[in-house]
């Protein structure tokens, strides 16, 4: 009898506990839904689906075309001195990846002198990393009382507006209030495209009619940013042909206006399309003088096998690559990290 009572009490306790736990779980679920619904649904899904591009396997997938060119180097085995055939393979791969003749020759000379004490891929990895040793720090703060401005320049279609949209999202995620300046007044569609990014990212925007003076648009955006307490202005510009001196004059003018109090241009990004290869380099040279470029955004790295262009651009222009674009959606931009980049090409 006593045993039966004890068993009954135990059963009652277990059932009671189970009910309590279920109730607590339900309450926790309700609370979670309520908290989540305070954040707009689009942001929730975005955060949940954001790919981590610093995860090496994700990056390898995005850069799979460039990675496939390096396949032949990854397959080379042996340590110590390289044979003539092995040096030829390395040379061919580097040239095909658009790393450029100068850097390729330097890397080959280094391999001849030092050999590959820990394997060929590893020696190449070290050589590429030492070619990518620029300071790529990114400024977000201006002098006290000034409004920080990031200016974006580059020819049509390279990805300026898309990059601004991606960066707006990044700043918003980091807690900044963003003001966009639709300085591409050449086509009405350019302003509309930027407006869409403003809406999507929750940024403010100043835009004007087609044909308006881009300098005044940027100037107004800075004034508005100061009044609203925005943390940063991202200024788009038109990108008609680089060899039009007209365009370069216009860019210098926009820059002067943007850098006048209360604005301060703390970064000028030249946006280049990786799929145009060596062509990107000649565009860049033309812009460089007029625009006082502080960093490069290399877009569409996902769409080319010639990812080595990163090295060529950085070395031949002496301007650091600060961001790379690896796709068309809002999350497909990453701070350029040479280590991850080189690993994604050479890791077995
Ligand atoms: N695959 C890929 N496409 C991109 C990337 N960045 C921009 N694009 C595309 O390039 C095209 C031109 O971009 P847009 O921002 O309008 O160029 P803009 O004329 O310089 O402003 C658009 O179709 C973009 O979606 C990228 O990193 N990868
Ligand atoms: Mg544009």
Q: What is the CATH number of the domain that holds 193?
A: 3.40.50.300
Q: What is the pLDDT of residue 283?
A: 85
| 166 and 251, same domain (yes or no) | yes
Please check whether residue 10 lies inside any domain of the structure: no
| 170 and 117, same domain (yes or no) | no
Strands 333-335 and 321-325: antiparallel
Distance from residue 235's CA to the centre of ligand 2 (Å): 11
Q: Is 149 exposed, middle or buried (0-12, 13-18, 19+ CB in 10 A)?
A: buried
Q: Which of 131, 164, 180 is the last residue of a domain?
A: 131
Distance from residue 333's CA to the centre of ligand 1 (Å): 11
Q: What is the pLDDT of residue 333?
A: 96
Cα 266 from Cα 139, distance rounded (Å) = 6
Cα 323 from Cα 321, distance rounded (Å) = 6
| 116 and 199, same domain (yes or no) | no
Q: What is the pLDDT of residue 107?
A: 96
Residue 244 domain boundaries: 147-293
Q: What is the pLDDT of residue 15?
A: 65
Please check whether residue 50 lies inside any domain of the structure: no
Please answer whether residues 207 and 195 qualify as being in contact, where contact means their C-beta atoms are separated by less than 8 angstroms.
yes
Please check whether residue 24 lies inside any domain of the structure: no
CATH number at residue 95: 1.20.120
| 209 and 98, same domain (yes or no) | no
Tokens of 269: 């990004």
Please check whether residue 313 lies inside any domain of the structure: no
Residues of the chain predicted below pLDDT 50: 31-48, 242
Please check whether residue 29 lies inside any domain of the structure: no
pLDDT in tens, 6-51: 777 766 666 666 666 666 566 655 544 444 444 444 444 444 456 6
Please check whether residue 270 lies inside any domain of the structure: yes
Q: What is the pLDDT of residue 33?
A: 47
| 168 and 244, same domain (yes or no) | yes
Please check whether residue 20 lies inside any domain of the structure: no
Strands 232-237 and 333-335: unpaired
| 194 and 236, same domain (yes or no) | yes
Please answer whether residues 247 and 241 qualify as being in contact, where contact means their C-beta atoms are separated by less than 8 angstroms.
yes
Give the DSSP H or E segment for 181.
strand 178-183
User: Is the preceding peptide bond at 44 cis, omega within 30 degrees of 0?
Assistant: no
Q: Quote the number of domains for the chain.
A: 2
Distance from residue 20's CA to the centre of ligand 1 (Å): 54
Ligand 1 pocket (Cβ < 6 Å) reads 154, 156-162, 239, 271, 299-300, 302-303, 325-328, 332
Pocket test for ligand 1, best of 328, 329, 333, 336 (most atoms within 8 A of CB): 328
């Amino acid at each position: 009898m006593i045993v039966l009572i004890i068993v009954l009490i135990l059963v009652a306790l277990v059932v009671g506990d189970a009910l309590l736990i279920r109730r607590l779980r339900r309450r926790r679920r309700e609370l979670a839904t309520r908290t989540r619904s305070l954040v707009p649904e689009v942001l929730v899904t975005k955060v949940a689906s954001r790919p981590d591009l610093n995860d090496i396997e994700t990056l390898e997938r995005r850069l799979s075309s460039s990675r496939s060119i390096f396949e032949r180097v990854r397959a080379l085995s042996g340590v110590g001195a390289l044979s003539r055939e092995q040096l030829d393979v390395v040379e061919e791969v580097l040239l095909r990846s658009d790393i450029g003749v100068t850097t390729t020759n330097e890397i080959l000379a280094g391999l001849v002198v030092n050999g590959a004490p820990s394997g060929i891929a590893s020696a190449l990895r070290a050589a590429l990393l030492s070619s990518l040793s620029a300071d790529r720090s990114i400024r977000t703060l201006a002098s006290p009382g000034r409004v920080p401005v990031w200016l974006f320049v580059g020819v049509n279609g390279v990805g300026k507006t898309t990059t601004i949209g991606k960066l707006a999202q990044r700043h918003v995620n980091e807690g900044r209030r963003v003001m966009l300046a639709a300085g591409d007044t050449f086509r009405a569609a350019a302003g509309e495209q930027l407006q869409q990014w403003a809406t999507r990212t929750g940024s403010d925007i100043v835009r004007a009619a087609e044909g308006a003076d881009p300098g005044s648009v940027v100037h107004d955006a800075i004034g508005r940013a100061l009044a609203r307490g925005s943390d940063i202005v991202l200024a788009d510009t038109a990108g008609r042909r680089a060899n039009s001196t007209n365009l370069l004059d216009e860019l210098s003018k926009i820059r002067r206006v943007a850098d006048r109090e209360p604005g301060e241009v703390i970064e000028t990004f030249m946006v280049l399309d990786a799929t145009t290869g060596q062509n990107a380099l000649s565009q860049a040279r033309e812009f460089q003088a007029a625009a006082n470029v502080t960093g490069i955004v290399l877009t569409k790295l996902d769409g080319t096998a010639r990812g080595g262009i990163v090295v060529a651009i950085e070395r031949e222009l002496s301007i650091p690559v600060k961001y790379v674009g690896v796709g068309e959606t809002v999350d497909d931009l990453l701070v350029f990290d040479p280590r991850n980049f080189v690993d994604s090409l050479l890791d077995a």
